[in-house]
Amino acid sequence: MKTIKIAILALLMVCAIMPAKAQTEGQVNYQLFKEAYRNKDYNRAYELMQWLFANYPKCGENLYINGANVFKTKISETQDQNLRNKYIDSLMVLYDLRVENFGKPEVHLGRKALDLQNILGKNGIERYYKLYAEAIEKGGDKVDANYVYCFFAATVDYVKAGFAEGTLVVDNYDIASDYLDNQLRIQTEAWNASKEAGDAAKIEKDSVKVANIIGFIANVERDFAPYADCDQLVEIYTKKFEADPKNIDLLKKITGIMGKKKCVKSPLYFKATENLYALEPTPASALKVGNMCYNQKRYSDAITYLKAAIEGITESKDLYTANIVLGLCYRETNSFSQARSAFYAAAKEDPSKGEPYLQIASLYASSASSASGDGLGGRSAYWAACDKANKAKSIDPSCANDANKLIGSCSARFPKQADAFMLDLKNGQGFVVPGWIGESTTVRTH
């Protein structure tokens, strides 16, 4: 394959200053090629292709589209293994030349890998896995979601075939899941934009793209499941960590994947997180250490790290997480007002989430005694708690079950009508909960 490519590239250099006569000959041969291909005269098309690749490689992308089909036809029809291998190698070179002359490596390198996979099957895993990896490396974040999934599926087969250790699956899961999550975000934004514009055709097209990406994400998660158990992740990474505990790239992989899979109670995660922060004290590593300290019930330490993270983090999703955990830490240290402020900050970062309001509702319910100045034994706090729980489920149906449970529990603690009457309070009347809660709410009895 290398020899074929060098020969063709050498010819390309020679023809860089091709005279007008050769240009005319190239145009004629290109038309002859298209005619031969249209008539399914693949032998003639193949002869013309060879000349065009060497002398007129930029005549048009149809040369590469139709040329790939010619090669695949010859591969399927050829019984001679040596000749078949020659055609396979030439097909691979065709894709390289297409990228050199027309760009778009994110498209053509993925297709190159997929063609080789379809031709060779799993017996060719050593070859086509490397092509998928090259497509991911050179194509960047423009690689189609289909090829990203193929890359990960090939990774699993590559490891199963004994060409690499299980760490490769974990590493490439990290790459594939990040790619797909990013593509889902971009495509969802495009879908929302098309809905705002009222473009029915584009709405349908974008919705299909979103559904496809969600499907690829599900497939990646399914294929990764056998490797995703926390014990297996610890086993996979412990040897690497012990061999090189100050390798920042390795520490980022360990903390990233174990954090994503919620394996945050493992001693390995703790050690890797601490090492990462010591070597690279960034907002991102501060967030990881803060989460770790929270899980270890080191709430004061967690607050320090989380506040440092919040000062430097720019991503809304990370700010949301940091503020939620910060609020939980403040709650555990009985700093209720600060906990509420943190939960409100989280709600600001992601208005679609009901969790911040549900946390505030729980905070009010658990600290009802602080509102004892209401003359009702603090039971007015349950009104405010129900208000927040109702808001939580109104903006985020996914938390409706938890919200309804809290509402049911709080409603059972409402004051009796007779108790409210003694204070000249009526159902529906406005009321301000005393103490640190200070919420405006309405009177409710049972």
Residue-wise DSSP of 30-74: HHHHHHHHHTT-HHHHHHHHHHHHHH-TTS-THHHHHHHHHHHHH
How many Å apart are CA 165 and CA 220, to the nearest integer? 18
Question: Phi/psi of residue 441, each to 5°?
Answer: -145, -165
- Other beta carbons less than 10 A from residue 206's beta carbon: 20
Summarize pLDDT for 379-415 with one digit per residue, the tens: 999 999 999 999 999 999 999 999 999 999 999 999 9
How confident is the model at residue 20, as a pLDDT?
Answer: 52
pLDDT of 2 > 70? The answer is no
Question: Average pLDDT in the 99-125 region?
Answer: 92
Of the listed ranges 15-19, 128-132, 264-268, the least confidently predicted one is 15-19
Question: With a threshold of 0.75, does the pTM exceed it?
Answer: no
**3-state SS string over 51-63?**
HHHHHCCCCCCHH
pLDDT range class, residue 10, cuts 50, 70, 90: very low
Summarize pLDDT for 288-337 with one digit per residue, the tens: 899 889 988 999 999 999 999 999 999 999 999 999 999 999 999 999 99
Of the listed ranges 23-27, 140-144, 187-191, 206-210, the least confidently predicted one is 23-27
How confident is the model at residue 7, as a pLDDT?
Answer: 43
Question: Average pLDDT in the 47-52 region?
Answer: 90
How open is the CA angle 405-407-410, to the nearest 5 degrees? 110
- Other beta carbons less than 10 A from residue 204's beta carbon: 12
The helix (run of H) or strand (run of E) holding residue 442 is: strand 440-442
Give me the percent of the chain exceeding a pLDDT of 90.
62
CA 229 to chain centre: 19
Q: How many Å is the maximal CA-CA distance in the chain? A: 106
Pair of tokens at residue 346: 């989280």
**3-state SS string over 188-238?**
HHHHHHHHHHCCHHHHHHHHHHHHHHHHHHHHHHHHHHHHCCHHHHHHHHH
